[in-house]
Structure 1
Amino acid sequence: MAKKSRKNRDVAPPAEGEVGPRQPCPCGSGKRYKACHGAAGGATSPFVARPFEGLAGECDLIALRELVPAATAPLTLADGVTGAGTRVVKLCTLLPAAAPAMVRDSGEVWLGLQVQHHYGDPSRDLAAVLLTALEQAERGESGIVGLTSDPGAGPRLQDVLATPELDVTVHDGFEYWVADVDQAGDDFTAALQQANETIHPTERLTGVEAAYWTNVGTKEHLRWVMPHDEDALLTALARLHAAGKDVLVEDSRFVGMFRAHGLLAPVWDLPVGTGAAALEEPASRFAAELETALAQSADLTPEERSARAGLANRQVTIR
């Protein structure tokens, strides 16, 4: 009797939200899940699907980590943390040489978000780097602070930061790298210029949370990280889509969503020339309509069910 092909064996598909064994590991290591956080002993720390949950600025934190090129925000340390109340701490999308953290000559501590540590819990990893940098600053030592091994169990950002919303400043370039120095060397100036050439113009909308307009040259986008439960958000978006209420401005198009750190971020394509200012009123109106749709409990109509099925399959890339 011929052996059954492995390809023909019935394999139960992963449940919604679950990672399949042959899919890329969500930690970003580049390995398959079964060889990383899905393997016994494959990763020393458990993978945390929504690492920034509970932080007041969760949505903006995800946006700054995943899609905003150059931005900063001051951080407030929780009582009892080294330097609380005295040390200036700044959150940055990206630091020179993609450093995890830096202690500046001024004594300020800068924490970089766009760093991939691959240890399962970005919140714990970022907290470990921040605490190390704060201790280094207390010793009067400046320089880069890194994380070269799994820090193991320990405080997370939720433990070391106070809870105010992030006061985000989006920058046109990385000049904030040298804002606190009198003169940068030629090599650093060249690196700064090269980094600035990679930036697409980006602005944060002021009327809603964690919505960012960007111009990539051939088109413009609005990318909006939302805090809602994924299932409830999909249902609400389906109601609005079926009603034709997800068009922000003329000729704009809701193209799909991406997932990042446990939350969904809807994405719109916009006509070139739209700009961020033109989105303020439509985005605020959409946010109000979305809250109304989230509160509805009636069964979906056939049109809404069809819209939901289509939306669930509209996965887009972050960049």
Structure 2
Amino acid sequence: MAKRTAVKNAPKADGINPRQPCPCGSGKRYKACHGSSGGPADVIVSRPFEGLASECELIALREFVPSATVKLPLKDGEVTLATVLPMAAAGLVRGDDVPFVGLQVQTRSGDVSRDLARAVMWAKDAKSGDVLPVVGPDTDENPGRLQDLLDADADIVPELHADFTWWLPEETEPTGDVALSLERANAAILPTERLDAPGVKAAYWVDAGDKAHLRWVRPEPEEQLLNGMARLAARGELDLGEGSRYAGSFRAHGLLVPVWDLDREMHAREWASPAEALGKRLLEAMSSDEQLNDAERRAREGLRGRQITIR
């Protein structure tokens, strides 16, 4: 009996014990999740980009950046990641043979990372003009996850675009349905810029019409981040200076995204230095080992009351 149990619990060839929790964070055993044939069909992975240096930027591109592209730091080959492709396709190869994969897609399974890996592998072998409409749990191939294909330590700096003309090769005039699709997509874009300052990553200025916002994807564990923000809020320092106020936060793919309302009369560049200063204050506040005082605890509860979760 002991011998049989030892064999049953032995690690697989990839070093993961099939009876242990799956590394994806789903909470299921590995053999019932990514260790099963074809991978999981219905497992929701709450933090799909965990372990990647580009995690925060990927979340921003997935959730609220309208038009942007970036070369993925693949271990092998080259594919361009895009926020959204025509018809919200999962992948396409442009007429000039440039392959793209999309983040904002029509349908997906519970693991965005695995779906992206499938799209990347498709794009590397696809031909000019090919389109991959969707990927999902019924796809036969199981290439692993994005973490298996990328250089985990490589960061990314997306290129933001004012419209979607990059959908087509340069000097290509859109006609017919393509022109109409481009017109509709361009009309829906909210002006967006990425703040460029030391220590400021995945922070985006967005002009929403009546006001502007700063949306900043933070990498810290939620409780640590909330405690730091509560300390600043209790001191009246949880803002970017005159013309700004903290609005709330939302959770996206396992991380917290604080949002500030901003004076839209000021240019995005004018908020870079205030964001840098706020980032430094926040890091200092999060590094404190002291217990929150009464005012800070009240502030933390107020911050919790202004949170929502999106998938």
Letter in 2 for 1:172: A
- After TM superposition, list the pairs within 5 Å mapping 1:136-285 onto structure 2: 136-137=126-127, 142-150=129-137, 151=139, 154-163=143-152, 164-180=154-170, 182-207=172-197, 208-285=200-277
Letter in 2 for 1:146: P
Contact 1:73 1:91 in 2 (8 A): yes
> In the alignment, which residue of structure 1 is the partner of 2:292?
300
> In the alignment, which residue of structure 2 is the partner of 1:110?
100
219 and 317 in structure 1: CA distance in 2 versus 1, 3 angstrom threshold = farther
Give the whole-Å Cα distance in 2 for the aligned partners of 1:317 and 1:270: 22
- 1:126 equivalent to 2:113? Answer no
Give the one of 292, 309, 314 matched to 2:306: 314
Range 210-219 or range 145-154, more displaced: 145-154
> In the alignment, which residue of structure 2 is the partner of 1:61?
58
What RMSD over aligned residues (CA atoms) do the two structures have, in Å?
Answer: 2.0
Deviation, 1:317, is 7.9
Contact 2:117 2:149 in 1 (8 A): yes
Deviation, 1:181, is 5.5
Contact 1:103 1:145 in 2 (8 A): no
> SS at 1:166's partner residue?
coil
Per-residue CA deviation, residues 188-242 of structure 1 (Å, 9 max, x unaligned), is 1222111111111100001110000011111110000000000110111000111
44 and 75 in structure 1: CA distance in 2 versus 1, 3 angstrom threshold = closer
> Please, what TM-score do these two structures have when normalized by structure 1?
0.79
Contact 2:243 2:262 in 1 (8 A): yes
> SS at 1:62's partner residue?
helix
The number of equivalent residue pairs is 268
Per-residue CA deviation, residues 55-89 of structure 1 (Å, 9 max, x unaligned), is 1111011001100111111112214xxxx2xx4x1
Give the whole-Å Cα distance in 1 for the aligned partners of 2:136 and 2:248: 36
> In the alignment, which residue of structure 2 is the partner of 1:96?
86
Give the whole-Å Cα distance in 1 for the aligned partners of 2:301 and 2:130: 51
Give the whole-Å Cα distance in 1 for the aligned partners of 2:49 and 2:136: 21
261 and 297 in structure 1: CA distance in 2 versus 1, 3 angstrom threshold = same
Contact 1:117 1:125 in 2 (8 A): no
Contact 1:249 1:279 in 2 (8 A): no
> In the alignment, which residue of structure 1 is the partner of 2:19?
none
> SS at 2:126's partner residue?
helix
Deviation, 1:278, is 1.2
Contact 2:90 2:135 in 1 (8 A): no
Give the whole-Å Cα distance in 2 for the aligned partners of 1:107 and 1:230: 42
Contact 1:101 1:145 in 2 (8 A): yes
> Please, what TM-score do these two structures have when normalized by structure 2?
0.81
Give the one of 64, 70, 88 matched to 1:73: 70
260 and 78 in structure 1: CA distance in 2 versus 1, 3 angstrom threshold = same
148 and 204 in structure 1: CA distance in 2 versus 1, 3 angstrom threshold = closer
> SS at 1:247's partner residue?
coil
Letter in 2 for 1:142: G
Letter in 2 for 1:194: R
Give the whole-Å Cα distance in 2 for the aligned partners of 1:275 and 1:264: 25
Give the whole-Å Cα distance in 1 for the aligned partners of 2:134 and 2:68: 22
> SS at 2:247's partner residue?
strand
229 and 317 in structure 1: CA distance in 2 versus 1, 3 angstrom threshold = closer
Identity %: 44
